[in-house]
Amino acid sequence: MDQNSNRVFEINSYSVETSNWIKRGWEIRSNNFPPEIYFDFPTKTESVSLTGTACSLNCAHCGGHYLKGMTDIKELTSQLSSELSFSSALISGGCTHDGKVPFWNRLELLHELKNRRVRLNFHVGLINEKEVQLLKGLADVVSFDFVGDEDTIHEVYGLEHKLENYIRVYQDLRKHVRLVPHLTLGLKGGIWSGEEKALDILEDIGLDGLVLNVFIPTPGTLYADRTPPKLEEVICFLAKARVRFPKTPLALGCMRPKGSYRQKLDEASVALGINRIVIPTPKARQLVEKKGLIIKRGEECCAL
């Protein structure tokens, strides 16, 4: 048996600064939330691409790779005549050249899903106010990828948008639908680029929850040969976010590196006070028991 198989989370394996932030994060969590943590295994959420595998952007971190693992909207259409195997759907897809997911082309089908009591989580991109109006009464939540650096917008997405565009869309959406911002750490090929500024902006304009992801080098993309941001830097960032937003639910999303990186990240996330983890590793589950937390199991997207 691996001699480390029963080890307890080793906070002292990190620097004094990081260890102190982890401790502060846990204190904040303990003082502001009940002793429970949500573990999400989204088997009841169908990931749907409205554009199949097509995307006009060819983003540096994705390159259309993740669209291949989603259900094509055409295939979903054929399923509507029978009982559905899912209770919610992530409505996403490739973007237009200006960074929008063209959900308005499938409104009839989306409303049919809604009438079947399917809960809908949307990725919409940088839509305008008129398009935002179409989501009223349709979207249960919108998951909005937020960025705090214009160079990242240009390099990763190939878009000429400015931060003001992201802020405008975010504020427009928040007026009409439930909105959960997503922030990917190291999105610019594993390099820190505006993550702190993104938190500054979100704190200023308001947020009701936050999903934190971590850049994954993906084969076949422009960033395939990059590496994720350093693990301890990510852990420290999460702990600082916990302290900064003491009453805001924080989730560790599904996009994060695998292997040892993920094991250590998940365990540290429990220790620093994250409220929700998507598909947590076994060590994280063990630490939850040691921390005296009650596990609340979910079967849908963490944003839902």
Q: What is the pLDDT of residues 22-65, one digit of tens each?
A: 999 999 999 999 999 999 999 999 999 999 999 999 999 999 99
Looking at the chain, the whole-number percentage of residues with pLDDT higher than 90 is 92
Cα-to-chain-centroid distance, residue 102: 20
- At which residue do the structure tokens 């998951």 appear? 143
pLDDT of residue 283: 92
Q: Summarize the confidence of residues 258-264 as an average pLDDT.
A: 97
The more confidently predicted of residues 9 and 95 is 95
pLDDT of residue 7: 56
For each of the domains in the chain, give its residue range(s) and CATH number, in order of start: 11-298 (3.20.20.70)
Q: Summarize the confidence of residues 272-289 as an average pLDDT.
A: 96
Model pTM?
0.95
pLDDT of residue 79: 84
Q: Summarize the confidence of residues 254-264 as an average pLDDT.
A: 97
100, β-bridge pairs: 125
Sheet-wide strand order for 71-72: 71-72, 45-49, 88-92, 119-122, 141-145, 179-185, 210-214, 250-252, 276-278, 36-40, 294-298
Residue 4 has pLDDT above 60, yes or no: no
Residue 186 and residue 198: Cα distance in Å, rounded? Answer: 12
The more confidently predicted of residues 81 and 128 is 128
Which residues are within 8 A (CB) of 103 and not within 5 positions of it... i.e. 6 or more apart?
50, 91, 93, 110, 122, 124, 134, 135
3 band by pLDDT with thresholds 50, 70 and 90: very low
Q: How many CA atoms lie within 13 A of 216 on its CB side?
A: 18
1 band by pLDDT with thresholds 50, 70 and 90: very low
Q: Summarize the confidence of residues 133-154 as an average pLDDT.
A: 97
Residue 81 has pLDDT above 90, yes or no: no
299 band by pLDDT with thresholds 50, 70 and 90: very high
Average pLDDT, the chain: 95
108 band by pLDDT with thresholds 50, 70 and 90: very high
Residue 77 has pLDDT above 90, yes or no: no
Residue range 176-214, pLDDT digits in tens: 999 999 999 999 999 999 999 999 999 999 999 999 999
Residue 209 and residue 202: Cα distance in Å, rounded? Answer: 10
pLDDT of residue 68: 95
Amino acid letter, 120: L
pLDDT of residue 10: 83
pLDDT of residue 11: 84
Contacts 24+ apart (CB under 8 A), 255-261: 255/184, 255/213, 255/214, 255/216, 256/213, 256/214, 256/216, 257/214, 257/216, 257/228, 261/228, 261/231
pLDDT of residue 98: 96
Q: Summarize the confidence of residues 260-264 as an average pLDDT.
A: 97
